[in-house]
Amino acid sequence: MKIYLASASPRRKELLKQVGISFKVVPGTVEEKITKEKPDEVVEELSYQKAVDVCGKLAAEGKEDFVVIGADTVVSAWGKILGKPVDRADAARMLKELQGGSHQVYTGVTLAWKYKDMQPMFATFSECTDVTMYAMTDEEILRYVDSGEPMDKAGAYAIQGLCAAHIQGICGDYNNVVGLPVGRLCQELKKRGLL
């Protein structure tokens, strides 16, 4: 089975390589539509849209015996979903909201696979990891925002980057916070005979 990642995320690519999965990148181009409200349902819905989009493209090209991995990550704090910041002020606002307690990072994953002469099949799951941050001063937040690192990250931070200096602890899968719960992903692939 050929494996395709429906994401251009460098972090997801790195995580798949880390666990020895060979894959090609075919980013989804579908316009994401959110109809759900709960964070786990939102990431599952978005990952499904990405996987269906790329699966359809590959099938239209006549490809067969493939698996598509679609994924989406959000941060949820105090009942609000935090996606990627739109600008520096938005990044600083998000980082302030994450201070003084724990928040949750959700990643939804959808597997779409197709064998020769069969209709595609789909499986979707999500993982949640609790993250607790040390309090950051306004100066530390601005310095971090100025680094540029928060700008393309859900919740405006990268646990594997400069923000590691402000992480007090996690409960759950570290890789899930980076952007892909590869341990669970491998188990789901093996369970279906796809890996």
- Asked if residues 43 and 74 have their Cβ atoms less than 8 Å apart, the reply is yes
- Asked if residues 123 and 192 have their Cβ atoms less than 8 Å apart, the reply is yes
Place of tokens 């679609």: 70
The residue from 53, 72, 90, 146 that is catalytic is: 72
Could you give the CA distance from residue 17 to residue 25 in angstroms, rounded to a whole number? Answer: 12
Catalytic site includes residue 65: no
Q: At 25, is the secondary structure helix, strand, or coil?
A: strand
Residue 21: both structure tokens together: 């999965």
Residue 44: both structure tokens together: 């599952």
Residue 18: both structure tokens together: 């880390």
Q: Which residues share a beta bridge with 25?
A: 5
Residue whose C-alpha is closest to residue 29's, from 58, 45, 49, 4: 49
- Asked if residues 36 and 74 have their Cβ atoms less than 8 Å apart, the reply is no
What residues are annotated to the active site?
Answer: 72
